[in-house]
Chains A and B, each alone.
Chain A
Amino acid sequence: MKKIFRLEDLDCANCAAKMERAIQKIGGVNEANVSFMGQRLSIDADESRFEEIMDEVVRVCRKVEPDCKIIR
């Protein structure tokens, strides 16, 4: 299932790249894309575990860039 989330306070382009790499490593994520200019996260992940995966995504992103919030 593919979903798009808005990102708030994503202020650094390098962090966006780091977040993207970190999210792609999460199990069950088929594809993830963090757009710095668009301030969006598009993610394609296992539908049955989507919420669980998103929790992990939020956790990982908080680690990389604590200022950035994922609007769910």
Chain B
Amino acid sequence: MKRSSLSRKDKKNLVRILIALALFLAIFITDKVIVLGGVLEGPAAWVFPFCLYLVVYLIIGYDVLWRAVRNILHGQVFDENFLMCVATLGAFALAIYRGVTGQEIEGFDEACAVLLFYQIGEWFQSYATGKSRKSIAGLMDIRPDYANLVKEDGSVEKVDPSEVKVGDTILINPGEKVPLDGVVAKGTSTLDTKALTGESLPRDVAPDGDVISGCVNLTSQLTVRVEKEFYDSTVSKILELVENAADQKSKAENFITKFAKYYTPIVCGVALLLAVIPGLITMDWSTWVYRALSFLVVSCPCALVISIPLSFFAGIGAASRYGILIKGSNYLEKFNQANTFVFDKTGTLTKGNFAVARISPEENADDILHLAAIAEHDSNHPIAKSIVARYGKQTESGYTLTNIAGRGIVAEKEGDVLLCGNGKLMAEHGIAYTEEAGVGTVVYVARNGAFVGSLLIADEIKPETRKVIGELNAMSCKTIMLTGDNEAIAKNVAQEIGLTGYKASLLPQNKVEEVEKLLAHKKQKDVLCFVGDGINDAPVLMRSDIGIAMGGVGSDAAIEASDIVLMKDDLRGIALAKRIARKTMAIVTQNIVFSIAVKVAILILSAVGIANMWLAVFGDVGVAVIAILNAMRVNGKYTTDPIRDRPGTAR
């Protein structure tokens, strides 16, 4: 990657354009002031301005002329270089013809200007595509250049990441990229994962913690044991995915290349007819040939052909900045139409962990938590852990804890008896308790024979889930949850989140069947997305129209099986991706309609003689530039937060 914003070729061409432009303006203004055609007398008066303009023409157009000749030799006739040459040389010829026949001398400036504008447009296209490529290449910055391999004798050597083997030890200094996936052997530090996940908050790592390639080590040196070879590590997988993304072409792109294939020959054919037929009838050759030449200028399909892939590329690039990897333009296009979202519940809509959801009665919350924590603090059960975590303080020791299987825990200390467990435990001890009706696991707490209260432990719903589902619903998408939970829990969760549907009591292998059923019942133009955390759902991800894997970092299977990967375990990425897809497709449509409409309008106007060649140049280059600028809007800023209250706006 070059640091300079212009490539060498762009720079060279820019200088050439500026020189030609200055020269052209100088000649043009002099011509208007003193009329160059009047310098020489007689029938050869045209020769003087012709020679001056010819110099400009050759400076700006020598490469176009050369390519046109070369391509004709190769049998490539309808090529933009050729069209430009025919149009401009034709304009020159017309001007000479007028000069020779003693009419007013004009048209040389036009021929030069057409080519000059054409080159400016070409330059701009090259600049814009280069810039857009670089924005994606920014993501390629995650590619590590070297690894500090620790050798057996303790010395450190810089080697290519691909030479490091599994089990080797590497050093990562502050400021360096993590070259390979591994586990920290020594050292604590913070890692910047922004390039990978779009997450701006640095992540802390300590011994035995995983480090993922592509992150940047921020604070202190880490010694890492390599777990995966380079080709297998996260960074390689992601780079491969991004590099391949441009290969998957969308329907819009295919349409436009097909359109271009027929458009140019048709316009050229019409141009020929336009020159010959009215020319023969009216014998006013110079007027009709001029109009036909204008046709040729507009006949380049470049604006269209370039702006569509550029829009998609910008869309994919914009998404990648937020840690959303889209595997191809076709998926971006399809995702815009996505209207059925099937979610795996655990780990996707919910955090997949247990947490205290409710304590009742609430006024005794501290007391209940305190007592429960005393009883549970020694246990490794996830439910016990969630209680201890919620309490968050040290508990007094000295209690004798007795675990009663299938019931709960009894804690005793100097006559103080705590009961902590399910309803059966309470009933067996003859304690009257208030039943907790909520969905989840309930833990009742009693002290010295008296009921104190209860804790409801449930899988925690992610904080962003409700908003994201809300936004999807507002886009009139169906949102369906698949879960192994029983009917009651599923219904409760679905209501709480605001899902439009759910399927309960599913075994993992039933997920594919359910998705198959949904696919079988959907309409032709419906697009079904499956969203999962990538664990055990590769078959479903592959089977659905669009598979979306969440928290893709570190899960190769998910990255491989899915079409869209959310690098960050954050559902908001789905709503964001949907907004990016919508904006991209809106711009693609705008560009197609705008470019074709302007071109057709200019064709008609030049056929009837209203538009001149200057306008025709705008129809070619101007449209291309506008379409490109429009395409670059895709790569703007997006808010990561779901937009709920303003359905139908994509900003």
Contacts and interface: CB of A to CB of B under 8 A. Distances in A.
Interface of A: 11-14, 17-18, 20-21, 33, 35-40, 42, 62-64, 66-67
Interface stretch (B16-24, B298-306, B392-400, B589-597): B298-306
A18 B305 CA distance: 11
B270 interface: no
A14 B302 contact: yes
Given A13-B306, A13-B309, A17-B260, A42 B247 contact: yes
A36 B329 CA distance: 13
Contacts of B70: 66
B126 A38 contact: no
A12 B302 contact: yes
Contact of B133 (A17, A33, A39, A64): A39
Give the top 8 A-B pairs by smallest Cβ distance, nearest first.
A38-B246, A17-B257, A13-B305, A13-B306, A35-B246, A37-B313, A63-B74, A14-B305
B325 to A, nearest CB: 15
Contact of B260 (A14, A37, A39, A67): A14
Contact of B75 (A11, A42, A63): A63
B80 interface: yes
- From DSSP, what is the main secondary structure of chain B's interface residues? helix
Interface residues of B, number: 29
B249 interface: yes
16 contacts: A12-B80, A12-B305, A13-B306, A14-B80, A17-B257, A33-B249, A35-B246, A35-B247, A36-B306, A37-B129, A38-B247, A42-B244, A63-B75, A63-B76, A66-B71, A66-B74
B141 interface: no
Contacts of A37: 129, 132-133, 246, 309-310, 312-313
Contact of B247 (A12, A14, A33, A67): A33
Contacts of B129: 36-37
Contacts, number: 61
A48 to B, nearest CB: 24
B261 interface: yes
A63 to B, nearest CB: 4
Contacts of A64: 74, 76
B560 to A, nearest CB: 16
Contacts of A66: 67, 70-71, 74
Contacts of A11: 126
A11 to B, nearest CB: 6
B332 to A, nearest CB: 13
Contacts of A33: 247, 249
A11 B119 CA distance: 13
Given A37-B309, A39-B133, A63-B76, A13 B246 contact: no
B248 to A, nearest CB: 8
A33 to B, nearest CB: 5
Contacts of A62: 74
Given A33-B249, A37-B313, A66-B70, A14 B133 contact: no
Contacts of A40: 243, 246-247
A62 B257 CA distance: 20
A36 B249 CA distance: 11
A42 B70 CA distance: 27
B63 to A, nearest CB: 10
Given A13-B305, A38-B243, 10 more contacts: A11-B126, A12-B302, A12-B305, A17-B260, A35-B247, A36-B306, A37-B313, A40-B243, A62-B74, A63-B75
Q: Which of A14, A17, A39 has the most CB of B within 10 A?
A: A14
A11 B7 CA distance: 13
Nearest to A38: B246
B591 to A, nearest CB: 13
A28 to B, nearest CB: 20
Contacts of A20: 257
Most buried by A among B133, B244, B245: B244
Contacts of A13: 302, 305-306, 309
A23 to B, nearest CB: 13
Given A37-B132, A37-B310, A14 B246 contact: no
A37 B247 CA distance: 9
A37 B136 CA distance: 10
